[in-house]
Structure 1
Amino acid sequence: MIAEVADCLDNLRVPLNDVQRAKMKGDYPYCGANGVLDYIDRFCVDDSVILMAEDGGYFDEYMTRPIAYRMSGKFWVNNHAHILKAKREYDQDYLFYSLVHKDILSFLASGTRAKLNKSELNKITIRQPANKEEQTAIAVILNDMDSEITALDSKINKARQIKQGMMQELLTGRIRLV
Protein backbone atom coordinates (compact mmCIF):
# COMPACT_ATOMS: atom_id res chain seq x y z
CA MET A 1 0.00 0.00 0.00
CA ILE A 2 1.12 3.55 -0.67
CA ALA A 3 1.14 4.34 3.04
CA GLU A 4 3.91 1.75 3.45
CA VAL A 5 6.14 3.00 0.62
CA ALA A 6 5.58 6.77 0.57
CA ASP A 7 4.89 9.74 2.79
CA CYS A 8 1.91 11.88 1.89
CA LEU A 9 2.90 15.53 2.34
CA ASP A 10 -0.52 17.09 1.79
CA ASN A 11 0.12 19.43 4.72
CA LEU A 12 2.34 21.44 2.33
CA ARG A 13 -0.52 22.20 -0.08
CA VAL A 14 -2.02 25.68 -0.16
CA PRO A 15 -4.93 26.55 -2.46
CA LEU A 16 -5.01 29.95 -4.17
CA ASN A 17 -7.84 31.40 -6.22
CA ASP A 18 -7.38 33.16 -9.57
CA VAL A 19 -7.45 36.63 -8.01
CA GLN A 20 -4.75 35.74 -5.49
CA ARG A 21 -2.56 34.18 -8.18
CA ALA A 22 -2.97 37.21 -10.45
CA LYS A 23 -1.32 39.33 -7.74
CA MET A 24 1.55 36.87 -7.33
CA LYS A 25 2.95 36.46 -10.87
CA GLY A 26 6.48 35.06 -10.83
CA ASP A 27 8.78 32.22 -11.83
CA TYR A 28 7.70 29.34 -9.57
CA PRO A 29 5.32 26.72 -11.00
CA TYR A 30 1.84 26.60 -9.46
CA CYS A 31 0.73 22.96 -9.72
CA GLY A 32 -2.69 21.35 -9.80
CA ALA A 33 -4.14 17.90 -10.44
CA ASN A 34 -2.76 17.54 -13.97
CA GLY A 35 0.29 19.75 -14.13
CA VAL A 36 1.51 23.32 -13.98
CA LEU A 37 -1.35 25.83 -14.11
CA ASP A 38 0.48 29.12 -13.63
CA TYR A 39 3.67 30.73 -12.34
CA ILE A 40 3.79 32.69 -9.09
CA ASP A 41 6.36 34.51 -6.98
CA ARG A 42 6.37 32.05 -4.05
CA PHE A 43 6.81 28.35 -3.40
CA CYS A 44 5.60 25.98 -0.69
CA VAL A 45 7.63 22.91 -1.72
CA ASP A 46 11.37 22.62 -2.36
CA ASP A 47 11.90 18.93 -3.08
CA SER A 48 11.54 16.13 -5.64
CA VAL A 49 8.06 14.65 -5.30
CA ILE A 50 5.25 12.92 -7.13
CA LEU A 51 2.02 14.85 -7.53
CA MET A 52 -1.07 12.69 -7.92
CA ALA A 53 -4.49 14.03 -8.79
CA GLU A 54 -6.94 14.23 -5.90
CA ASP A 55 -9.81 15.50 -8.02
CA GLY A 56 -10.06 16.72 -11.57
CA GLY A 57 -7.59 14.06 -12.67
CA TYR A 58 -7.70 11.95 -15.81
CA PHE A 59 -8.85 8.94 -13.78
CA ASP A 60 -11.10 7.50 -16.51
CA GLU A 61 -8.33 7.92 -19.10
CA TYR A 62 -5.54 6.44 -16.97
CA MET A 63 -4.30 4.21 -19.81
CA THR A 64 -3.53 7.09 -22.16
CA ARG A 65 -3.23 10.11 -19.86
CA PRO A 66 -1.20 10.41 -16.65
CA ILE A 67 -2.83 10.60 -13.23
CA ALA A 68 0.49 11.51 -11.58
CA TYR A 69 3.53 13.58 -12.52
CA ARG A 70 6.95 14.44 -11.11
CA MET A 71 8.03 17.84 -9.87
CA SER A 72 11.42 18.87 -8.62
CA GLY A 73 12.83 22.07 -7.13
CA LYS A 74 10.75 24.97 -5.87
CA PHE A 75 7.03 25.11 -6.69
CA TRP A 76 3.56 25.59 -5.20
CA VAL A 77 0.91 22.85 -4.98
CA ASN A 78 -2.81 23.52 -4.71
CA ASN A 79 -5.31 21.26 -2.96
CA HIS A 80 -6.20 19.27 -6.10
CA ALA A 81 -3.04 17.14 -6.03
CA HIS A 82 -1.61 14.82 -3.38
CA ILE A 83 2.11 15.22 -2.66
CA LEU A 84 3.99 11.91 -2.39
CA LYS A 85 7.60 11.22 -1.49
CA ALA A 86 8.97 7.68 -1.51
CA LYS A 87 10.31 6.50 1.81
CA ARG A 88 14.07 6.05 1.98
CA GLU A 89 14.02 2.32 1.24
CA TYR A 90 11.95 2.77 -1.94
CA ASP A 91 12.83 4.24 -5.32
CA GLN A 92 10.96 7.47 -6.14
CA ASP A 93 10.95 6.89 -9.91
CA TYR A 94 9.73 3.32 -9.48
CA LEU A 95 6.85 4.64 -7.36
CA PHE A 96 6.07 7.20 -10.08
CA TYR A 97 5.96 4.58 -12.84
CA SER A 98 3.79 2.37 -10.63
CA LEU A 99 1.22 5.17 -10.33
CA VAL A 100 1.29 7.23 -13.53
CA HIS A 101 -1.08 4.97 -15.50
CA LYS A 102 -2.62 2.91 -12.68
CA ASP A 103 -6.28 2.00 -12.59
CA ILE A 104 -7.47 3.49 -9.30
CA LEU A 105 -11.14 3.87 -10.19
CA SER A 106 -12.23 1.59 -7.35
CA PHE A 107 -10.56 3.95 -4.84
CA LEU A 108 -12.42 7.07 -5.98
CA ALA A 109 -15.29 8.65 -4.10
CA SER A 110 -18.07 9.46 -6.50
CA GLY A 111 -20.04 12.65 -6.66
CA THR A 112 -20.16 15.57 -9.03
CA ARG A 113 -16.42 15.08 -9.46
CA ALA A 114 -14.45 11.88 -8.83
CA LYS A 115 -12.15 12.31 -5.85
CA LEU A 116 -9.23 10.34 -4.45
CA ASN A 117 -9.25 11.17 -0.75
CA LYS A 118 -6.15 10.61 1.37
CA SER A 119 -7.45 7.54 3.21
CA GLU A 120 -8.21 5.79 -0.09
CA LEU A 121 -4.90 6.95 -1.60
CA ASN A 122 -3.07 5.23 1.24
CA LYS A 123 -4.85 1.93 0.44
CA ILE A 124 -3.66 1.74 -3.18
CA THR A 125 -1.40 -1.28 -3.59
CA ILE A 126 1.98 -0.99 -5.26
CA ARG A 127 3.67 -4.17 -6.45
CA GLN A 128 7.40 -3.83 -6.07
CA PRO A 129 10.54 -5.90 -6.03
CA ALA A 130 11.84 -6.64 -2.55
CA ASN A 131 14.98 -4.54 -2.87
CA LYS A 132 15.53 -0.94 -3.86
CA GLU A 133 18.30 -1.83 -6.33
CA GLU A 134 15.88 -3.77 -8.54
CA GLN A 135 13.30 -0.98 -8.28
CA THR A 136 15.96 1.50 -9.39
CA ALA A 137 17.06 -0.72 -12.30
CA ILE A 138 13.47 -0.96 -13.54
CA ALA A 139 12.96 2.79 -13.17
CA VAL A 140 16.18 3.52 -15.10
CA ILE A 141 15.00 1.37 -18.01
CA LEU A 142 11.62 3.13 -18.07
CA ASN A 143 13.29 6.56 -17.83
CA ASP A 144 15.56 5.65 -20.75
CA MET A 145 12.55 4.55 -22.79
CA ASP A 146 10.76 7.82 -21.99
CA SER A 147 13.83 9.76 -23.14
CA GLU A 148 13.92 7.79 -26.40
CA ILE A 149 10.19 8.39 -26.97
CA THR A 150 10.68 12.12 -26.37
CA ALA A 151 13.57 12.20 -28.86
CA LEU A 152 11.51 10.32 -31.46
CA ASP A 153 8.53 12.64 -30.93
CA SER A 154 10.85 15.59 -31.54
CA LYS A 155 12.12 14.03 -34.79
CA ILE A 156 8.56 13.33 -35.94
CA ASN A 157 7.53 16.94 -35.24
CA LYS A 158 10.54 18.25 -37.15
CA ALA A 159 9.75 15.95 -40.11
CA ARG A 160 6.15 17.21 -40.12
CA GLN A 161 7.34 20.82 -40.21
CA ILE A 162 9.73 20.06 -43.08
CA LYS A 163 6.95 18.26 -44.97
CA GLN A 164 4.58 21.20 -44.43
CA GLY A 165 7.18 23.61 -45.81
CA MET A 166 7.90 21.36 -48.79
CA MET A 167 4.19 20.98 -49.55
CA GLN A 168 3.81 24.76 -49.70
CA GLU A 169 6.80 25.08 -52.01
CA LEU A 170 5.81 22.18 -54.27
CA LEU A 171 2.06 22.73 -54.43
CA THR A 172 2.31 26.46 -55.15
CA GLY A 173 4.78 25.85 -57.95
CA ARG A 174 7.63 27.79 -56.32
CA ILE A 175 9.72 24.65 -56.66
CA ARG A 176 9.50 22.62 -59.86
CA LEU A 177 10.64 19.02 -60.06
CA VAL A 178 10.73 18.81 -63.85
Structure 2
Amino acid sequence: MYVNDHKAKMRKAACMVITMSDTRNISTDKSGSLIVDFLEKHGHMVTSRDIVADEKNAIDKKITAGINDPNIDVILTNGGTGIANRDVTIETVKPLLDKEIPGFGEIFRSLSYLEDIGSAAILSRAIAGIANQTVIFAMPGSSGAVRLAMERLILPELSHVIHEINKDT
Protein backbone atom coordinates (compact mmCIF):
# COMPACT_ATOMS: atom_id res chain seq x y z
CA MET A 1 0.00 0.00 0.00
CA TYR A 2 1.23 3.47 -0.87
CA VAL A 3 2.03 5.66 2.11
CA ASN A 4 1.67 9.40 1.65
CA ASP A 5 5.24 10.44 2.41
CA HIS A 6 5.31 13.91 0.85
CA LYS A 7 5.56 16.59 3.47
CA ALA A 8 2.95 19.09 2.34
CA LYS A 9 2.27 21.69 4.96
CA MET A 10 -0.33 20.21 7.27
CA ARG A 11 -2.92 22.91 6.96
CA LYS A 12 -6.13 22.36 8.86
CA ALA A 13 -9.14 22.90 6.66
CA ALA A 14 -12.35 24.84 7.26
CA CYS A 15 -15.03 22.48 5.94
CA MET A 16 -18.65 22.64 4.88
CA VAL A 17 -20.54 19.31 5.01
CA ILE A 18 -23.71 18.93 2.94
CA THR A 19 -26.00 15.89 2.75
CA MET A 20 -28.34 15.66 -0.21
CA SER A 21 -31.51 13.91 0.92
CA ASP A 22 -35.27 14.17 0.86
CA THR A 23 -35.64 11.89 3.89
CA ARG A 24 -32.79 12.51 6.34
CA ASN A 25 -32.49 15.02 9.15
CA ILE A 26 -29.50 15.81 11.36
CA SER A 27 -30.33 13.01 13.81
CA THR A 28 -30.74 10.36 11.06
CA ASP A 29 -27.90 11.54 8.83
CA LYS A 30 -25.31 8.83 9.58
CA SER A 31 -23.09 9.68 6.61
CA GLY A 32 -22.98 13.39 7.37
CA SER A 33 -22.13 12.59 10.99
CA LEU A 34 -19.40 10.23 9.84
CA ILE A 35 -17.83 12.94 7.66
CA VAL A 36 -17.90 15.40 10.58
CA ASP A 37 -16.36 12.82 12.94
CA PHE A 38 -13.55 12.00 10.50
CA LEU A 39 -12.75 15.66 9.88
CA GLU A 40 -12.72 16.63 13.54
CA LYS A 41 -10.68 13.57 14.51
CA HIS A 42 -8.02 14.74 12.02
CA GLY A 43 -8.00 18.30 13.33
CA HIS A 44 -10.08 19.95 10.62
CA MET A 45 -12.88 22.41 11.45
CA VAL A 46 -16.48 21.87 10.41
CA THR A 47 -17.86 25.37 10.04
CA SER A 48 -21.17 24.37 8.48
CA ARG A 49 -23.32 21.25 8.20
CA ASP A 50 -26.59 21.12 6.30
CA ILE A 51 -29.09 18.80 4.72
CA VAL A 52 -30.41 19.89 1.33
CA ALA A 53 -33.25 18.41 -0.71
CA ASP A 54 -32.33 16.44 -3.82
CA GLU A 55 -33.17 19.44 -6.00
CA LYS A 56 -30.78 21.16 -8.38
CA ASN A 57 -31.62 24.72 -7.28
CA ALA A 58 -31.29 23.96 -3.56
CA ILE A 59 -27.98 22.12 -4.09
CA ASP A 60 -26.62 24.86 -6.36
CA LYS A 61 -27.55 27.60 -3.88
CA LYS A 62 -25.83 25.85 -0.93
CA ILE A 63 -22.66 24.87 -2.82
CA THR A 64 -22.36 28.29 -4.47
CA ALA A 65 -22.60 29.92 -1.03
CA GLY A 66 -19.71 27.71 0.13
CA ILE A 67 -17.63 28.43 -2.97
CA ASN A 68 -18.12 32.17 -2.47
CA ASP A 69 -17.27 32.09 1.25
CA PRO A 70 -13.55 32.90 1.61
CA ASN A 71 -13.56 31.13 4.98
CA ILE A 72 -14.45 27.72 3.48
CA ASP A 73 -11.58 25.59 2.15
CA VAL A 74 -13.46 22.37 1.42
CA ILE A 75 -17.02 21.33 0.63
CA LEU A 76 -17.79 17.66 1.25
CA THR A 77 -21.12 16.38 0.00
CA ASN A 78 -22.80 13.02 0.25
CA GLY A 79 -25.83 11.73 -1.58
CA GLY A 80 -27.32 12.25 -5.00
CA THR A 81 -24.43 10.71 -6.96
CA GLY A 82 -26.27 7.66 -8.31
CA ILE A 83 -28.29 7.20 -11.46
CA ALA A 84 -31.87 7.63 -10.17
CA ASN A 85 -33.90 10.52 -11.55
CA ARG A 86 -33.60 12.39 -8.21
CA ASP A 87 -29.78 12.07 -8.21
CA VAL A 88 -28.70 15.49 -9.49
CA THR A 89 -25.65 16.27 -7.37
CA ILE A 90 -23.17 15.60 -10.17
CA GLU A 91 -25.16 17.58 -12.73
CA THR A 92 -25.18 20.48 -10.27
CA VAL A 93 -21.56 20.31 -9.07
CA LYS A 94 -19.74 19.61 -12.33
CA PRO A 95 -20.62 22.93 -14.09
CA LEU A 96 -19.40 24.84 -11.01
CA LEU A 97 -15.88 23.36 -11.20
CA ASP A 98 -12.93 25.31 -12.56
CA LYS A 99 -10.87 22.11 -12.56
CA GLU A 100 -11.96 18.52 -12.11
CA ILE A 101 -9.87 16.03 -10.13
CA PRO A 102 -10.74 12.90 -12.15
CA GLY A 103 -8.49 10.62 -10.11
CA PHE A 104 -10.83 10.89 -7.12
CA GLY A 105 -13.81 9.35 -8.90
CA GLU A 106 -11.69 6.83 -10.78
CA ILE A 107 -9.88 5.54 -7.71
CA PHE A 108 -13.02 5.70 -5.57
CA ARG A 109 -14.89 3.45 -8.01
CA SER A 110 -11.93 1.06 -8.20
CA LEU A 111 -11.70 0.80 -4.41
CA SER A 112 -15.49 0.46 -4.15
CA TYR A 113 -15.38 -2.41 -6.61
CA LEU A 114 -12.49 -4.19 -4.89
CA GLU A 115 -13.29 -3.52 -1.23
CA ASP A 116 -16.94 -2.67 -0.79
CA ILE A 117 -19.75 -3.21 -3.28
CA GLY A 118 -18.35 -5.14 -6.24
CA SER A 119 -19.85 -4.50 -9.64
CA ALA A 120 -22.40 -2.03 -8.22
CA ALA A 121 -19.49 0.44 -8.23
CA ILE A 122 -20.35 1.22 -11.86
CA LEU A 123 -23.40 3.11 -10.57
CA SER A 124 -21.30 5.61 -8.62
CA ARG A 125 -20.63 9.01 -10.16
CA ALA A 126 -18.47 10.39 -7.33
CA ILE A 127 -16.55 13.50 -8.40
CA ALA A 128 -14.08 16.03 -7.02
CA GLY A 129 -12.69 19.32 -8.22
CA ILE A 130 -11.80 22.91 -7.52
CA ALA A 131 -14.14 25.89 -7.73
CA ASN A 132 -12.93 29.37 -6.79
CA GLN A 133 -10.01 27.96 -4.74
CA THR A 134 -12.43 25.68 -2.86
CA VAL A 135 -12.07 21.90 -2.99
CA ILE A 136 -15.30 19.96 -3.55
CA PHE A 137 -15.70 16.23 -2.93
CA ALA A 138 -19.07 14.71 -3.90
CA MET A 139 -19.47 11.25 -2.39
CA PRO A 140 -22.29 8.73 -2.46
CA GLY A 141 -24.63 8.79 0.53
CA SER A 142 -23.97 5.36 2.02
CA SER A 143 -21.90 5.15 5.19
CA GLY A 144 -19.65 2.54 3.59
CA ALA A 145 -18.90 4.82 0.64
CA VAL A 146 -18.23 7.79 2.92
CA ARG A 147 -15.92 5.75 5.14
CA LEU A 148 -14.00 4.46 2.11
CA ALA A 149 -13.65 7.90 0.52
CA MET A 150 -12.65 9.64 3.74
CA GLU A 151 -10.18 7.02 4.99
CA ARG A 152 -8.53 6.03 1.74
CA LEU A 153 -8.63 9.18 -0.41
CA ILE A 154 -9.77 12.43 1.14
CA LEU A 155 -8.08 12.57 4.54
CA PRO A 156 -4.67 11.32 3.34
CA GLU A 157 -4.55 14.08 0.67
CA LEU A 158 -6.70 16.91 2.03
CA SER A 159 -3.88 19.13 3.34
CA HIS A 160 -1.84 18.43 0.21
CA VAL A 161 -4.72 19.42 -2.09
CA ILE A 162 -5.31 22.65 -0.16
CA HIS A 163 -1.59 23.43 -0.26
CA GLU A 164 -1.44 22.86 -4.03
CA ILE A 165 -4.40 25.08 -4.92
CA ASN A 166 -3.11 27.90 -2.73
CA LYS A 167 0.62 27.81 -3.42
CA ASP A 168 0.50 30.27 -6.31
CA THR A 169 -1.81 32.78 -4.66
Return the TM-score normalized by structure 2: 0.29
Larger radius of gyration: 1
Relative contact order: is structure 1 or structure 2 higher (C-alpha 8 Å, sep ≥ 6)? 2
The structure with more helix, counted as a fraction of residues = 2
The structure with more strand, counted as a fraction of residues = 1
Return the TM-score normalized by structure 1: 0.28
